[in-house]
Amino acid sequence: MRREFLRVRNALTEDDIRETERDVARRALELDELAKARTVAAYVSVGGEPGTGALLDALRARGTRVLLPALLPDNDLDWGAYDGAASLTTVRHPGKMALLEPGGERLGPAAVLEADVVLLPGLAVDARGMRLGRGGGSYDRVLARLEAAGVRPALVVLLHDSEVVAHLPQEAHDKAVDAVVTPSGVRRF
- Is the pLDDT assigned to residue 47 strictly greater than 80? yes
CA atoms within 13 A on the CB side of 153: 27
Q: Show the DSSP H helices in the chain as ranges.
A: 2-10, 14-29, 32-36, 53-61, 138-148
**Confidence grade of residue 107 (pLDDT, cut at 50, 70, 90):** very high
- Is the pLDDT assigned to residue 42 strictly greater than 80? yes
What string of DSSP letters covers 2-15? HHHHHHHHHT--HH
Least Cα distance to 186 among 37, 26, 61 occurs for: 26
Superfamily of domain 2-188: NagB/RpiA/CoA transferase-like (3.40.50.10420)
- Is the pLDDT assigned to residue 77 strictly greater than 90? yes
Predicted pLDDT of residue 94: 84
Number of Cβ within a 10 Å radius of residue 25: 23
- pLDDT, one tens digit per residue, over 160-171 is 999 999 999 998
Predicted pLDDT of residue 179: 98
Report the chain's C-alpha Rg in angstroms: 15
- Is the pLDDT assigned to residue 96 strictly greater than 80? no
Asked if residues 151 and 113 have their Cβ atoms less than 8 Å apart, the reply is yes
- Is the pLDDT assigned to residue 63 strictly greater than 90? yes
Share of residues in the chain with pLDDT > 90 (%): 89
Q: For residue 127, which amino acid is it?
A: A
Pick from 67-76, 134-143, 179-188: least confident: 134-143
| 148-167 average pLDDT score | 97
| 103-131 average pLDDT score | 97
Distance separating alpha carbons of residues 187 and 189, to the nearest angstrom:
7
Number of Cβ within a 10 Å radius of residue 174: 15
CB-count burial class (<10 Å; 0-12, 13-18, 19+) for 165: middle
Asked if residues 122 and 159 have their Cβ atoms less than 8 Å apart, the reply is yes
Return the axis-axis angle of helices 53-61 and 14-29, rounded to nearest 10°. Answer: 30
Predicted pLDDT of residue 134: 85
Distance separating alpha carbons of residues 160 and 42, to the nearest angstrom:
17
Domain boundaries, the chain: 2-188
Predicted pLDDT of residue 171: 86
DSSP state of 85: G
| 35-51 average pLDDT score | 95
Asked if residues 118 and 156 have their Cβ atoms less than 8 Å apart, the reply is yes
